Amino acid sequence: MKNTVYLFIASIFILFACQTPKTITKTDSENIRLNQLGYYPASVKQFIIVDMNVSDFDIINEENKVVFSGELTQNGLWEASGEEVSSGDFTVFNEPGKYRILLNDSVASYPFEIKDNLYEEALNAAIKSYYFQRASMPIDESYGGIYKRAAGHPDDKCLYHPSSGKTTGTLNSPGGWYDAGDYGKYIVNASLSVGQMLNLIEIYPDAISDGALNIPESGNGVSDLWDELKYELDWILSMQDDDGGVYFKLTALHFGGFIMPEDYNLDRYIIGKGTASTLNFAAVLAQASRLYQNIDSSWSEKALEASKKAWKWAVLNTDVPFKNPKDVSTGEYGDDIFSDDFYWAATELYITTREETYQTYLTENPIEYAHKLTDSWKSFVRNNAFHSLLDNKNLLNEELASSLNANHLSLAESIIEKIDTNPYRIALEQYEWGSNSDILNQAMILCMAHRISGEEKYLTGAEQINDYIFGKNATGYSFLTGYGSKQVMFPHHRPSGADGIDMPIPGFIAGGPNAHKQDKQNVTYTSEFPAKAYIDEQASFASNEVCLNWNAPAVFVMAYLQQVRK
Ligand code: G3I
Ligand code: 9MR
């Protein structure tokens, strides 16, 4: 029996090897949507065909010879994109190499690879994008190459805006990362994003080695990811008032022009102080405190003290939302529900201190186990908490541990069900500002489900979703700058726009399709469909900006896949 199978495989191989190469009349077809980086040998390998009447496909190698053939499945109309969709699957073909998909003997896709270590470079770039966002220090040529630049924003004498509660003096609050395409620094978004990546290093402390990123700290004996996160954590730590409350943001009064950081000419202010910023600060510093204990014990102690002090402030100030004052128009990151922020802070404080009062808080104040889409800086804090708890189940009472486990798997199951019924084999039907982060957060949830259950279907789901980011989507773009065949060239990112270099700085996830098109006065969208409401123009801040909290889940998902697939 075994011999017959071998014979069969060998004859197919010979059949393919003897054929004459195909004559391709059209390459880089926009109608074939695939992961433009490719697939790990062991991965699910799917692609999408839109608006073409075809029933089968071939995979061709670099000599244009067919190495695999398969049938397409008709998936029907996708209302979000207005396309007739079919899909192909060549999961069983796992021979490393460079290939294209071929339709009708003549129409070929962008090239892709089947290989080990598929995401290594893209992952490193996605982390290094944070280095390029560093405030208050130059990007030297030895680390930044052509993207070298002078230091911007010393932020050593920031003025207090009255909304901070202070009217005199200045705050020294240097360093940290710029939030996005703008040069602001915002505590809630910083904390959420660092928290998501701390979730990664709690699971895989060695995911990124020392030296992998070529940053100034490379070679110091500490993982470059840990070093990069510490640059932001030190800034976060500087934003606490003496009474324990944490300022909301450090920005100018308004967004400035598309100029380099070093040319920035607006006064920088410390603005607001509220419950969300204080609790998110408490959470991420408690989380970091336990993880950095062996790296810098005195910093770790300081971080925990600051975290506890912040918690105390929040307990006395349970409902202080932040709203932009009349004279301020930089990012608002509005939120007026704090139960999830309390839950995240209590979670991290409990895991780090093991003090029972925090676990009691969690048990007495349960929150819905859900993934609430959009605005992850406010909606995903709960998931950060769940992920930390799932990774420290041994510290929890049995009831809490088992309900979290069951709830996570049923959340993951609901995502899988959506994938199975969606023509693109993804789980997102709603396209809002930063939709790419919604989709990556869904993939992150599936990675966590795989981690706690070991079930392959969750990993498959995470890969199906992640393929979307690299081109299996209704726009055909690969959304990580510098990667893929159809690249984002004009992100709404001030340094990329102002540096005079054609290629944008690599490693940034663009916001993605946004049905609400809040920037439609600045740009002309070409489609009415939500999943196509994206435009690669610098002016499109609502679909083509970059942002800390959009890169963070990309880092988690790619690093997770690298760990389990490579
Ligand atoms: O969800 C509602 C939807 O129900 C409603 O129909 C629609 C109508 O316009 O609005 C939707 O809400 C939008 C929300 O994003 C959804 O995510 C808001 O209009 C929109 O204003 C809001 O945009 C936020 C944007 O800042 C403007 O405040 C983005 O979420 C947020 O990610 C973005 O964050 C900015 C920072 O402020 C500054 N730094 C860059 C960063 C990224 O763009
Ligand atoms: O450039 C700003 C971007 O960094 C912000 O995230 C975005 C959020 O509202 O706003 C952009 O600034 C725009 C402003 O909001 C409206 N007028 C056009 C500005 C961009 O040119």
Q: Which residue has the higher pLDDT, 272 or 13?
A: 272
pLDDT at 566: 85
Atom of ligand 1 nearest to the CA of 545: 43
pLDDT at 19: 79
* Ligand 2 pocket, residue 519 CB under 6 Å: no
Share of the chain above pLDDT 70, in %: 97
Whether residue 13 is predicted with pLDDT greater than 90 in this model: the reply is no
CB 32 within 8 A of CB 87: no
- Centre of ligand 1 to C-alpha 72, Å, is 38
* Ligand 2 pocket, residue 180 CB under 6 Å: yes
Atom of ligand 2 nearest to the CA of 329: 15
pLDDT in tens, 187-204: 999 999 999 999 999 999
Helix (H) or strand (E) holding 270: strand 269-273
- Centre of ligand 2 to C-alpha 472, Å, is 28
Choose the residue to mutate in 177, 179, 186, 255 for probing ligand 2, maximizing ligand atoms within 8 Å of C-beta. Answer: 255
Choose the residue to mutate in 335, 432, 547 for probing ligand 1, maximizing ligand atoms within 8 Å of C-beta. Answer: 432
- Give every CB contact of residue 255 below 8 A, 6+ residues apart in sequence: 182, 184, 329, 330
pLDDT at 112: 98
Average pLDDT over residues 345-367: 97
Average pLDDT over residues 178-182: 98
Residue with CA closest to ligand 2 atom 4: 182
pLDDT in tens, 14-30: 555 567 888 898 888 99
Whether residue 388 is predicted with pLDDT greater than 80 in this model: the reply is yes
CATH fold for domain 147-422: Glycosyltransferase (1.50.10)
379-404 burial string, b = 16+ CB within 10 Å, else e? bbbbbbbbbbbbbbeeebeeebbeeb
What tokens were used for 69? 């053939």
pTM score of the predicted model: 0.96
pLDDT at 28: 86
Q: Which ligand lies nearest the alpha carbon of 539?
A: 2
Domain with CATH 1.50.10.10 in the chain: 147-422
Residue with CA closest to ligand 2 atom 11: 541
Nearest to 408 by CA among 373, 452, 441: 452
pLDDT band, residue 462 (cuts 50/70/90): very high
CB 558 within 8 A of CB 480: no
Whether residue 5 is predicted with pLDDT greater than 60 in this model: the reply is no
pLDDT at 20: 86
CB 345 within 8 A of CB 279: yes
pLDDT in tens, 71-90: 999 999 999 999 999 999 99
∠ CA 263-264-269 to the nearest 5 degrees?
160
Average pLDDT over residues 389-417: 97
- Centre of ligand 2 to C-alpha 126, Å, is 23
Nearest to 355 by CA among 405, 404, 297, 286: 286
pLDDT at 12: 53
Using CA atoms, how far residue 408 sits from 194, 317, 403, 405, 564, in Å, is 22, 31, 8, 5, 20
* Ligand 2 pocket, residue 433 CB under 6 Å: no
* Ligand 2 pocket, residue 545 CB under 6 Å: yes
Whether residue 56 is predicted with pLDDT greater than 90 in this model: the reply is yes
Whether residue 523 is predicted with pLDDT greater than 70 in this model: the reply is yes
Atom of ligand 2 nearest to the CA of 180: 4
pLDDT in tens, 247-271: 999 999 999 999 999 999 899 999 9
Strand order, beta sheet including 170-171: 170-171, 158-160, 269-273, 247-251, 185-186
Domain with CATH 2.60.40.10 in the chain: 4-114
* Ligand 1 pocket, residue 252 CB under 6 Å: no
* Ligand 2 pocket, residue 181 CB under 6 Å: yes
Class of domain 4-114: mainly beta
Nearest to 324 by CA among 310, 313, 334, 339: 334
What tokens were used for 456? 């392959």
- Centre of ligand 2 to C-alpha 125, Å, is 25
pLDDT at 1: 46
- Centre of ligand 2 to C-alpha 246, Å, is 25
Using CA atoms, how far residue 393 sits from 205, 350, 354, in Å, is 18, 12, 12
* Ligand 1 pocket, residue 430 CB under 6 Å: no
pLDDT in tens, 320-345: 999 999 999 999 999 999 999 999 99
Whether residue 111 is predicted with pLDDT greater than 50 in this model: the reply is yes
What tokens were used for 435? 């939709």
Whether residue 3 is predicted with pLDDT greater than 90 in this model: the reply is no
- Among all residues, which ones are annotated catalytic? 182, 492, 536, 545
Residue with CA closest to ligand 2 atom 21: 539
What tokens were used for 282? 């408490």
pLDDT in tens, 282-310: 999 999 999 999 999 999 999 999 999 99
Residue with CA closest to ligand 2 atom 8: 331
Average pLDDT over residues 379-388: 98
509 CB-side CA count, 13 A: 34
pLDDT at 174: 98
In the numeric block, the tokens 């880092």 are attached to: 555
Beta-bridge partner residues of 84:
77
